[in-house]
Each structure stands twice: as structure tokens, then as C-alpha cells.
Chains A and B, each alone.
Chain A
Amino acid sequence: MSRLPLEKKVLSENDRIAARLRERFLARQVFCLNFISSPGAGKTSLLERTLERLRPSERVALLTGDIQTDNDAKRLACFGFPVKQITTGGTCHLDAQMIERALADWPLESLDTLLIENVGNLVCPSSYDLGEAAKVVVLSVAEGEDKPLKYPAIFFKAELLLLNKTDLLPYVSFDLAKARAYALQVHPGMEIIELSCKTGAGLDDWMRWLARRRELAFGSPDLPEKCCE
């Protein structure tokens, strides 16, 4: 009997496809975000409010993952931006291959931003790299404030925490300060924005983060025109 060391990633096949996607996004200057939360935290509402605030000329597209139904794609399609539903048929997360397949007939050169709404699940999606520039985790105040401690993987891997449904704070026992402290315990330096998709509070901060983060990755898509003025 002999022991052969392997030292390779279990998800090396997924990571290989994700690296290929990341290269394509980089070459075409497509800024890609991967939104992760438990079911019902408000990912789709957040994307609706985001699309509402974008100019129709902005080159944004969305992929939305669910186990069943194309309800989310229908909700998001009314804003005029291209949307595609990925129905996983039981799988609890999106993987890089699903993204590559969904993008096969989409010309990436016509896009500046790709927003991916993962399947509602705070655990499984955190293991799968989709080639995104950053993961964004959404936590609603209708959940427990100790979610970051209970599900450290996603809070560790996400760059930004959006604390959603702050309009419900008077009615729930959610401790905002504790939630922030727990998130920072798991991920020191994590960026956190409080917002309400219902009242619109905090949405400007989120839109600024989106623009700033995109600029950090590729520079502003509007820059060449402004330079010419």
C-alpha cells in the first residue's frame, strides 16, 4: 500500500471553467457580481431597485438562478435589460459551467456589467467560483443577526454585505450593531451597507459602491466620452 499526495482542489474542474470565464470578462471588460443570500432576503428586489436606477443606455445584463420557475426572470425583464433564467432543476447553487452555458449565445462585447443572482442559499453557492469580480452577500433584518457567525464561509468570501429590509427594524428584534460586529469578526474590513428596497433608504450608497467598484476594476465606462467633451 502506498500513499500518493495529490494536493489539488476538489472543485478544480469548476475553478478551471471559472478562470476561463474570468479571463473572458477581463478581456471584454465585463464587471461581474455574484449575489448570494438565503431565500427571501431580497436579492431580486435589490436587482429591481438597481435596474430602476440605471439609465437605459447602460449595458447591463442579468442571470438569475432558481431551482424551479422563471418568476424572477419575468420580474426583472420589465426593466428592458437582457435577463436569462437558469433553472437548476434541484441543484442548490449555480456553478461555472451553468454560467458558461447561459452566456454561450450572449455577445459579451455588448456588456459592461453582468449581475448574477444565485440560488437562494447561504451555504452551497459559497463554494462555487463563477468567475465574478466579487461576491455580494445580502442579509435581511428579518433573519438572525448571528448569521455571519453561523455561516462564516459566505461572509468570509463576500466583499460586500448588504443589510436589507431596514424598514422592518422597528418590528423585529434584529440587532444591527451586533450583525455588523459579527460580520467584521468573520471578515475584518468587510464593506457593509444598510438599505431598504422598500423605502429606498441606502440605495444611493449601494449604487455608488457599484459604480466605484466597477471603476476600480476597469475604469468608468463613460470615461472616453467625457474626455472628448
Chain B
Amino acid sequence: MHELSIANSILEAVRKERERLNGVRVTKVGVRIGELAGVDPEALSFGFGVLVKDTDLEPLPLEIEFTSRRHECSKCKHVFTVVDYQLDCPACGTKETRCIGGDELELAYLEVEEP
């Protein structure tokens, strides 16, 4: 259950950004979480809600974009989403593919009120 720590890091980042933007009102925060990040979106949402409650940031919805594992074929350069650990290239059949995404744990965006 490190999702609470992750939620706290998100809130700290939001506060930092708000300060940088001269105290603008933040209305939403978006994060991107890959299936290889080891973070449970539901637990993260729950933890985030608990931490935001009764603070000056409330209400602050958290939008989570869950991303799949993506591979690129080293031969034909085809980029594909990995389903059920099938790592072979669906276009040319080669086994030589490399992971190019799916372990994201990123702050994607902030929505703020126009000044």
C-alpha cells in the first residue's frame, strides 16, 4: 500500500506548481500510470481522496490514465500494445522486440482556473 505515499507526492507536486503559478486555483490533476509501475489506480484514487479532504485544495478530482505495456519491433519498427505477455511482433512475427512504455508514473497535467 505505497499508493498513499504516491498520492502524497502528487499533492506535493500540485502545491509546488500552484506556488510557481502564483497561487492559481487548481481544479483537476491528471496522472499517467503504466501497468508495469506497480501502482493500483483504485488504491491511489482512494488515498488521494483521503489526503485532499479538508484541505485548501478540496475539491480536487484526480484523473488516472492507465497505460498498457508497449513494445517496438527491432526489425520492422512496428509499435504494438502487449496483451497477455505476447511479446512477439504481430506484424512480422519476430521475437526481437523491446519495451518502449508501460512503466509510467507521471504527472500528466493540471487544470487551472483562468486568472
Contact = CB atoms under 8 A, between A and B. Distances in A.
B112 A10 contact: no
B61 to A, nearest CB: 12
Given A1-B113, A7-B106, A12 B13 contact: yes
Contact of B9 (A3, A10, A152): A10
A13 B2 contact: no
A14 B8 CA distance: 12
B109 interface: yes
Nearest to A5: B109
Interface string A1-37: 1111111111111100000000000000000000000
A153 B110 CA distance: 27
Nearest to A121: B2
Contacts, number: 89
A209 interface: no
Contact of A9 (B12, B106, B110): B106
B1 interface: yes
B111 A1 contact: yes
B87 A152 contact: no
A106 B3 CA distance: 31
Contacts of B87: 185, 188
Task: Determine the interface band of chain B, counting residues with CB < 8 A from chain A.
Answer: 20 to 34
B105 interface: yes
A149 B38 CA distance: 12
B105 A9 contact: yes
A12 B21 CA distance: 19
A127 B85 contact: no
A93 B39 CA distance: 13
A127 to B, nearest CB: 5
Given A4-B111, A127-B105, 10 more contacts: A2-B114, A4-B112, A8-B107, A9-B107, A10-B10, A11-B9, A13-B9, A14-B9, A127-B39, A154-B38
Interface of B: 1-2, 5-6, 9-10, 12-13, 17, 21, 27, 31, 35-39, 85, 87, 99, 103, 105-114
